[in-house]
Amino acid sequence: MSRRAEPSERPDSLPRFHRLSKIEPILYLAPFLVGVIVFTLYPVIHVVFISLMEDYNYLTRAFSRFGLGNYISVLGNKYFIQALSNTFIYVLLVIPIATCIALAAANMLNQKLKLTGLFQTAYFLPMVTSVTAVGLAWRFMFNERIGIVNFLLSLVGIDPVGWLTKAEWSMPALVIYGIWNILPFTIILLLAGLQSVNPMFYTAARVDGSKGARIFFKITVPLLAPTIMLTTIVNTISAFKVFNELFPLFKGQAGPFYNLYTVVYFIYEQMSGKPRLGRAASAAMVLFAVILALTLIQLLIQRRWRGTGKG
Amino acid sequence: MSKTARAAIYAGLILGALIMVFPFYWMFVSAFKTTQEINRFPPTWLPGSLRFDNFAIAFQKSPFARYFLNSVIVTASCVVCTGFTTILGAFAFSRLKFPGREVIFSILLSLLMIPFEMVIITNYTTIIHLGLNDSLPALIAPFTSSIFYTYILRNFFMTVPDGLYHSARVDGASNWRFLWRILVPMARPSLVTIMLLNALVSWNSFMWPLIVIKTTANRTLPFGLYAFTTESGSNPELMMAASTVVVLPMIILFLFARKSIVNGVARGGMKG
Amino acid sequence: MKVELSRVTKRFGGTVAVDGFTATLADGQLIALLGPSGCGKSTLLNLLAGILPATGGRIFFDGDDVTAWPPERRGVGLVFQNYALYPHMTVAQNISFPLEIKKVPKPERARMIREIASMVHVEDLLDRRPDALSGGQQQRVAIARALVKRPRLLLLDEPLSNLDARLRLEMREEIRRVQRETGVTTVFVTHDQEEAMSISDQIVLMRDGRLQQCAPAQTLYHNPVNRFAAEFLGNPPINQIPGTVSGNRFTLKNGGAEIPLPFDAGLADRPAILAVRAESFQLDEDGVPCVIADMFEIGKEEMASLTIGGESVRAYLPLEAPTRKGDTVRVRLKPRGVFLFDGKTGDRL
């Protein structure tokens, strides 16, 4: 393509003597930047201020004073503490399980078998469908009296479980649905990682006499480590925002006994009814802090793996 | 690979596929059952008859046609607007020279990690102050530009050799003409992927409509569906019929454009 | 169209790509812009096209000062090394694109496309897309696209370097033919001296952004203005021997031999570089003795690697059968292809 040897010679800009050229970039950028500034950049800055404004009224934009009042009240709120702990439990259950299942599924999908297209369609379907709509199907499947899940359990002699009605079973139900939901995305990322592994490594292993499971754990998993790490972090960030899943399962409540608050659900609740945006904002700041930390870890990993060079 | 290993893998794949597809199967099947049949235990694996009454009843009880239309309007508007701003923005960031280009772009990239749940608070007040509260434009306005898609498209634009641009300019083509006659047709696969992902996200969007929409007539499908389950009792067969209506368009889209969507997700993930 | 460049300069930040370049390119000629990579020749081409603005100096097309003109106003056609065909358009659409922009009416367009396509022999490929064409065919289409709008100046940026050796020969004849047929003033950039010498009317030799020499190929070869010009043209590279010149005698720096020159340099005891083309040696009973270090046959000619007083040189010599490695032969220099250069500045003495 273009000769790298003469970088200084490559024309990189058009003549400045074009009449339009000064304002032209602005015209091209304006539609894009207006949206970004109004609905992303400004809100990011603004939300910090809101979180510090006590008794903020979003209609009059009045507030009583600047301070950490919102943070104190949020961090002292038992529902927020519950939300934090629920969210962490949810993430800690969903991510490892989903990653392991996805790894197995991706590895199977990566074999040169027939009908891969059909299998892929089946595995990836939940990714494109509404969390609300499929959640309703799960709610019906989890039904204590007539649900298919309890029917299947009854076949192995387990008594009906109150998945959506008992406090102790509501988290497992949410987690199962969460795993099922996050699987397609995880499988796709891991499959892409697998497909980028140089087949040379497998040939070498096979020549050395290694077999299936051994190859998987000694070759595939280590080579895939960076992909697994990144997938885990991306998934963790999205699992931290668990919210939508609650609505179909628990009729819009945070669990059968208000026992399943999550961070985003808390934020949502502060915004609905009689909005308390200051509190919502400070809760959002806490969420952001967690996501920021995860993102920084992600960047660090990406840099390290880029530095050492991948396979 | 040995025959037993191959059989084991097929068995594993089939089991997994059944688990992944089962909720959809159950949704579709239940949508055709009668109230008596659906309450039967043990459940029946196939409906006694193919009756579409559940759909009719659901559409009667709740204005799903209206919801569907709203969803189409909102999704189409978001996709068109985002597509337009993304094409122009990606062109500016890849081809045009202006002071601070790289700085501005890195600031935008750093905004990628901002969760939507964080900006939603201010956006809510912005929508109210713009007088858009509880209207369809409120569902469109915040989603007319996407840093993520602009980033993807800019990366594609950067791979187009300079020569194409320069020869078009020497031939007298303006930037505008070059963009729409040369660059956009060349970027069609990337653009299609971007628009598909955008359509999926937009169609399935839930939290934002939940916050800004109050009037029944302005609901989109997922929100309308959720509202239906709380307002119209919880007849599972009606719920499943309504869910089918929400899910089916995206399933059809996916069957036709699986490769494009999967590649898009694999390349950059879906910003949700 | 006559092109005049007057003190044209282009800087990129701190680096000077083109430095006070002055030259006149005559109307209707095929001009090769020759130089090693990084010498600024592509930049100069882009300055001519208007893709890059000049930092200083003026460019005139037929007396018009076009320095500040945008590319589309200059009426130039441009062909790139990688052809830069629009991949989503057919050959016909590619060729048609410049005409569309000029708002040429459709029937007229079709006629012009057919005409130019048959001139470059791509009339059978009009419905294909670029990815279905070979490199040579792509280059023909690129030339057709550049010519279809009847430019006043055709610019080709390394047009042959992406082609394999055989196609390269074929395409350079084609470029020559098409240029003759259209009579359009043509500038093509190349780093290949053989390419430049074989088809151009005029060679513009560049180094480090500066003009070295602007002359027809034969003049450049037989009368280089400096050591760089002598070095850059010719294959095998010109032989260079350091030493001292006095009148018509040249003494090697290591004192190993004294070579009689075919001319009187008019200098006394002047350190210099003696440059001799390989074909400028001839056998002579009274010549300087030298040892045959090696012999090769290149095509129908014999090439010998000789050692003269410790310096090795390469020479074409009609050596007879009994001669073998290690033998001593006597040679003298022909009047043509022998030059003296200043060792430091490289200027011709």
Looking at chain B, the number of H-run helices and the number of E-run strands are 15, 0
Structure tokens given for C173: 């004849």
Q: Number of residue pairs across B and C with CB atoms under 8 Å?
A: 59
3-state secondary structure of C314: strand
Contact B118 A29 (CB under 8 A): no
B71-105 confidence digits (pLDDT tens)? 999 999 999 999 999 999 999 999 998 999 999 99
How close does chain C come to A195, measured CA to CA in Å?
27
Q: Determine contact: B111 vs chain A, CB below 8 A.
A: yes
Q: Determine contact: B172 vs chain C, CB below 8 A.
A: yes
Of C49, C101, C102, the CB nearest to B177: C101
Task: Identify all chain B residues contacting C51, using CB atoms and an 8 Å cutoff.
Answer: 166, 169-170
Identify the band that residue A221 occupies on the pLDDT scale cut at 50, 70 and 90. confident
Q: Determine contact: C277 vs chain B, CB below 8 A.
A: no
Q: Determine contact: A39 vs chain B, CB below 8 A.
A: yes
Of A59, A130, A140, the CB nearest to B246: A130
Q: How many CB atoms lie within 10 A of CB C303?
A: 18
How close does chain C come to A13, measured CA to CA in Å?
7
Give percent of chain A above pLDDT 90. Answer: 59
Q: Where are the domains of chain B?
A: 62-232
Task: For B20, name the nearest residue in chain A, comparing CA atoms only.
Answer: A123
pLDDT at C232: 92
| Residue C210 β-bridge partners | C207
Contact A11 C52 (CB under 8 A): yes
Structure tokens given for A110: 């990566």
Contact B163 C77 (CB under 8 A): no
Task: Identify all chain C residues contacting B164, using CB atoms and an 8 Å cutoff.
Answer: 84, 86
pLDDT at A7 exceeding the cut of 70 = no
Identify the band that residue A306 occupies on the pLDDT scale cut at 50, 70 and 90. low
pLDDT at B102: 93
Picking from B33-42, B132-141, B218-227, which range would have the lowest pLDDT averaged per residue?
B33-42
pLDDT at B1: 66
Question: Rounded to an integer, what distance in angstroms lies between the CA atom of residue C241 and that of residue C225?
Answer: 18
Sheet strands side by side (includes C15-25): C15-25, C3-12, C56-61, C64-65
Q: Determine contact: C146 vs chain B, CB below 8 A.
A: yes
Task: Identify all chain C residues contacting B172, using CB atoms and an 8 Å cutoff.
Answer: 71-72, 98, 101-102
> Which of A129, A202, A230 is the best mutation test for B, with the most CBs of B within 10 A?
A129
Q: Where are the domains of chain A?
A: 7-51, 69-310
Task: Identify all chain C residues contacting B161, using CB atoms and an 8 Å cutoff.
Answer: 80, 82, 84
Task: For B198, name the nearest residue in chain A, comparing CA atoms only.
Answer: A128
Of B27, B122, B258, the CB nearest to A137: B27
Q: How many CB atoms lie within 10 A of CB C236?
A: 15
3-state secondary structure of B183: helix
pLDDT at A19: 53
3-state secondary structure of C223: coil
Tell me the mean pLDDT in the region A77-106. Answer: 95
Instruction: Specify the CATH architecture of the domain A69-310.
Output: Orthogonal Bundle (1.10)
Within the 150-169 window of chain B, which residues sit less than 8 Å (CB to CB) from chain A?
Answer: 150, 161-163, 166, 169
Average pLDDT, chain B: 91
CATH class of B62-232: mainly alpha
pLDDT at A16: 44
Task: Identify all chain C residues contacting B167, using CB atoms and an 8 Å cutoff.
Answer: 78-80, 84, 145-146
Tell me the mean pLDDT in the region A270-291. Answer: 91
Contact C82 A6 (CB under 8 A): no
Contact B26 A237 (CB under 8 A): no
> Which of C90, C97, C100 is the best mutation test for B, with the most CBs of B within 10 A?
C97
Q: Determine contact: B12 vs chain A, CB below 8 A.
A: yes
Of B169, B172, B182, the CB nearest to C86: B182
Task: For B171, name the nearest residue in chain C, comparing CA atoms only.
Answer: C98
Picking from A83-87, B264-268, C176-180, which range would have the lowest pLDDT averaged per residue?
B264-268
Tell me the mean pLDDT in the region B246-253. Answer: 93
Structure tokens given for C270: 């002047």
Question: Rounded to an integer, what distance in angstroms lies between the CA atom of residue A282 and that of residue C156?
Answer: 63
Q: Determine contact: C53 vs chain B, CB below 8 A.
A: no
Q: Determine contact: A212 vs chain B, CB below 8 A.
A: yes
Q: Are A299 and A292 in contact (CB under 8 A)?
A: no
Tell me the mean pLDDT in the region A46-67. Answer: 88
pLDDT at A17 exceeding the cut of 70 = no
Q: Which chains touch A (3 or more CB pairs under 8 A)?
A: B, C
Q: Determine contact: B44 vs chain C, CB below 8 A.
A: no
Q: Are A253 and A246 in contact (CB under 8 A)?
A: yes
Contact C40 A9 (CB under 8 A): yes
A160-186 confidence digits (pLDDT tens)? 999 999 999 999 999 999 999 999 999
pLDDT at A211: 72
Dihedral sign computed on CA atoms, order C333, C336, C338, C340:
positive
> Which of A4, A8, A17 is the best mutation test for C, with the most CBs of C within 10 A?
A8
Contact B119 A252 (CB under 8 A): no
Contact B26 A26 (CB under 8 A): no
Q: Which chains touch B (3 or more CB pairs under 8 A)?
A: A, C
Task: Identify all chain A residues contacting C37, using CB atoms and an 8 Å cutoff.
Answer: 3, 5-6
User: DSSP assignment, residue C83?
Assistant: -
C238-253 confidence digits (pLDDT tens)? 999 999 998 888 988 8
Q: What are the percentages of helix, strand and coil residues in chain C, rounded to 5?
A: 30, 35, 35
pLDDT at A216: 79
Within the 136-165 window of chain B, which residues sit less than 8 Å (CB to CB) from chain C?
Answer: 161, 163-164
Q: Determine contact: B73 vs chain A, CB below 8 A.
A: no
pLDDT at B147 exceeding the cut of 50 = yes
Of B93, B117, B206, the CB nearest to A132: B206
Residue ranges of chain C whose CB lies within 8 Å of a chain A CB? 12, 15, 17, 37-38, 40, 42-43, 46, 50-53, 68-71, 81-82, 158
Within the 6-25 window of chain A, which residues sit less than 8 Å (CB to CB) from chain B?
Answer: 10-14, 24-25
User: DSSP assignment, residue A9?
Assistant: G
Q: Determine contact: A132 vs chain B, CB below 8 A.
A: yes
| Residue C3 β-bridge partners | C25, C61
pLDDT at A11: 41
Q: Which chains touch C (3 or more CB pairs under 8 A)?
A: A, B
Question: Rounded to an integer, what distance in angstroms lies between the CA atom of residue B25 and that of residue B46?
Answer: 10
Tell me the mean pLDDT in the region B242-257. Answer: 93
How close does chain C come to B145, measured CA to CA in Å?
27
Task: For C73, name the nearest residue in chain A, comparing CA atoms only.
Answer: A18
Tell me the mean pLDDT in the region B102-118. Answer: 91
Contact B161 C82 (CB under 8 A): yes
pLDDT at A307: 52
- Please name which of C322, C219, C340 lies closest in space to residue C276, comparing C-alpha atoms: C340
Give Cβ neighbours of residue A82 (< 8 Å, ≥ 6 apart).
A259, A261
Burial class (CB in 10 A: 0-12, 13-18, 19+), C106: exposed
Better-scored residue on pLDDT, A259 or A113: A259
Dihedral sign computed on CA atoms, order C112, C113, C119, C120:
positive
Question: Rounded to an integer, what distance in angstroms lies between the CA atom of residue A198 and that of residue C16?
Answer: 44
pLDDT at A10 exceeding the cut of 50 = no
Average pLDDT, chain A: 86
Ordered mean pLDDT values, 10 residues apiece, chain C (349 residues): 93 90 93 92 92 92 91 90 92 94 92 94 94 92 93 92 88 92 94 90 93 92 92 90 89 84 86 92 87 80 84 84 80 90 88
Q: Are C278 and C303 in contact (CB under 8 A)?
A: yes
